A and B are shown apart, each in its own frame.
Chain A
Amino acid sequence: MTSLSICNVGKQYHKGATTLENINLEIRSGEFLILVGPSGCGKSTLMNMIAGLEEVSSGQILLNDHDITHAPPAARDIAMVFQSYALYPNMSVYDNIAFGLQIRKWPKSDIETEVQRVAKMLQIDHLLSRKPAQLSGGQQQRVAMGRALARRPKVYLFDEPLSNLDAKLRVEMRTEVKKLHQRLGTTIVYVTHDQIEAMTLADRIAVMKDGVIQQLGTPQEIYQSPNNLFVASFIGSPAMNFIPVTVERNDQGLFVQLSDSGGQRLNVPLRADLPATVGQELILGLRPEAITEVQPHRLSQADTFQGQFMVEMTEPTGPDTLTLLRINQREVTARIAPQANPQAGHSLALMLDASQALFFEPSSGERLRASPQQRIA
């Protein structure tokens, strides 16, 4: 049972330049938490502070309710896998894995057993006498993981461990990391740039920007109910479409207007509990998969519209064809079944599922959320 609490943690490398601000994370025992965010947002800094490699400027870090804010790295029982693998080039694979155990003065026979166990688990037992330079990228990656596993630490930190691997190997290792987590049930904090990695591995995802956590939630929450424009645009590939709209009112309530290539208007109603006013400028967010070929059985559903759109460009990905078109003169991406055969320069009937539409306040970027008062009313 290992829980990790990060309370109001801040980091300033230099006076006046804040790298991390008031980070609060409660990582439950056995949880797989993923940190994502653009380059330079402070992910590695946070990991290094958890590991004890970087001073904490303010706040506290608790491991199983023990304050480890200023404990040296060796005393924390936390292992980290680095993006560069950071294997000791002068040592054999065996010694790389054994090093931490030797330092901790384990008996020789126990070290031998442990290294063999870990090597078998990661299928590197035939490589134990090699030097890191004689290994492929994927093998080095496994050794780096082996080194972390051998110590049986309380918490594992992974800082972009798969980003130096080629696409195929990355997918393989991703599966393996997931299996490993399910088998060992250890607490893991994991940094990645890769959305799919984040969505597939995480119990919860923390999205960071400029040293501030923008949202913390399950992959589904993050994907379906992003807190703000940043999270909405950062998660999901291809990215969510954003269309500026103005709120209007008719006898059924508030709505915003979209128009297809023929100028036909589609009125998208705003849910009554959203705090919007007539004339207000908003940004409508619609994921590519909400714009599809016409599926007749769904047309009868509420908030589903059909329109005629001029296809500007297509990008077949296999299962779907990403199709560029315009809504309200804005370029948007749709995810269309290849059978619908979208072709550049041709008009195509498409279906918009407006029930998935999200609305954002343009200046703050915050998503409009049902306000409690209005829900009662």
Chain B
Amino acid sequence: MRNPALHHAKLPTVTLGRLFIYASLIAMAALYLMPLWVVLLTSFKTTADIRTGNLLSLPDVWVLDGWLKAWSSACTGVSCNGISGYFINSSVMVLPAVAISTLLGALNGYVLSMWRFKGSELLFGLLLFGCFIPFQVILLPMAQTLGWLGIANTTAGLVLVHVIYGLCFTTLFFRNYYQALPGEIIKAARLDGAGFFTIFWRIVLPLSRPIIMVTVIWQFTAIWNDFLFGVVFSAGDNQPMTVALNNLVNTTTGAKEYNVDMAAAVLAALPTLLVYFVAGKYFVRGLTAGAIKG
């Protein structure tokens, strides 16, 4: 599109092969979008409608009952205040966890790629190893540590867990990105008189936008969607959205309200969807970015 001449020269020709490709792509997309479609449709139906209609039929009347109830009055265990409070819990937990783990990852990556010291490669190797540690393995030692620190079952505790667990990934991202930055820029800055943090703030960080995007999306998705840490390291009113969603779905008083469940599920997924819509293009760009551009 950017080069009109090129665009005109290469008009797409419809061939059988191309048709086949498009057909299979559309089929795949439909297959993957089907659950979302069902979820959305169901969330706008009334409970009666759900019982009589089939899974793929449009609602008889479009109602927001499910959404309103999910947000403010559905029962999650004992309390019946909807998921709004937990939505805020998740936000309060995710924002600092993402910010801190991203910043620390950037700092780690900066040190590991530009201020090499004896054993820095080994340290990086060990950090890398951290990416392969399954969640379950760290549950017990983490619980104990949080207990010692006196922040068990608090949002701060959960933030700490996510920061520590995410650090391996964020460090890996930033380190590999900085590896490709020309070392002579850092040398030039040192000769200009800049110190460790000045170089980081004024030169390295401003060049990191693509990888910051990647890391933020990665961390946001991972932390927002996390269930295990949430269910283990928080309790009662401090629980994050994912745990509340589970409670909501599992709390059965009377008939199962699928519209409420579905609306709550969409609400829970909304922030990550939003992040992808807003910053998704940076994600692809950042992952494929080799050289830097000014």
A residues adjacent to B (C-beta < 8 A) = 48, 51-53, 72-74, 78-80, 82-84, 86-90, 99-100, 103-104, 131-134, 147, 151
Contact = CB atoms under 8 A, between A and B. Distances in A.
B191 A89 contact: no
A73 B190 contact: yes
Nearest to A105: B193
Contact of B192 (A52, A53, A84, A100): A100
B187 A82 contact: yes
A80 B187 contact: yes
Listed residue (B195, B207, B294) with the most chain A CB atoms within 10 angstroms of its CB: B294
A282 B191 CA distance: 49
B191 A79 contact: yes
A90 B192 contact: no
Interface string B186-209: 011111111100100011001100
B289 to A, nearest CB: 13
Listed residue (B189, B193, B293) with the most chain A CB atoms within 10 angstroms of its CB: B193
Given A84-B184, A86-B182, A133-B293, A78 B191 contact: yes
A84 B183 CA distance: 10
A357 to B, nearest CB: 44
Nearest to A83: B184
A82 B184 CA distance: 7
Contact of A104 (B193, B195, B203, B292): B193
Size range of the chain B interface in the assembly: 20 to 34
A127 to B, nearest CB: 13
A53 B187 contact: yes
29 contacts: A51-B187, A53-B187, A53-B190, A72-B190, A73-B191, A74-B190, A74-B193, A74-B195, A80-B188, A82-B184, A82-B188, A84-B184, A86-B182, A86-B187, A87-B185, A88-B185, A88-B203, A89-B185, A89-B292, A90-B203, A90-B206, A90-B207, A90-B294, A99-B192, A100-B192, A100-B193, A103-B193, A147-B192, A151-B192
* SS of B interface (majority): helix
Contact of A48 (B182, B187, B206): B187
A74 B198 CA distance: 13
Contact of A86 (B188, B193, B206, B207): B188
Given A78-B191, A88-B189, A147-B192, 11 more contacts: A53-B190, A72-B190, A73-B193, A74-B194, A84-B182, A86-B185, A100-B191, A100-B192, A103-B198, A131-B294, A133-B293
A62 B294 CA distance: 38
Contacts of B198: 103
Contacts of B190: 52-53, 72-74
A48 B195 CA distance: 17
Nearest to B181: A89
A22 to B, nearest CB: 25
A320 to B, nearest CB: 39
Contact of B191 (A80, A132, A134): A80
Listed residue (A48, A100, A132, A147) with the most chain B CB atoms within 10 angstroms of its CB: A100
Nearest to B203: A88
B207 A99 contact: no
A84 B184 CA distance: 7
B81 to A, nearest CB: 47
A134 B198 CA distance: 25
A103 B293 contact: no
Contacts of A86: 182, 184-185, 187-188
Contacts of B294: 89-90, 131-134
Contacts of A134: 294
Listed residue (A48, A79, A89, A104) with the most chain B CB atoms within 10 angstroms of its CB: A89
B200 to A, nearest CB: 13
B164 to A, nearest CB: 31
A147 B190 CA distance: 13
B210 to A, nearest CB: 12
A90 B200 CA distance: 13
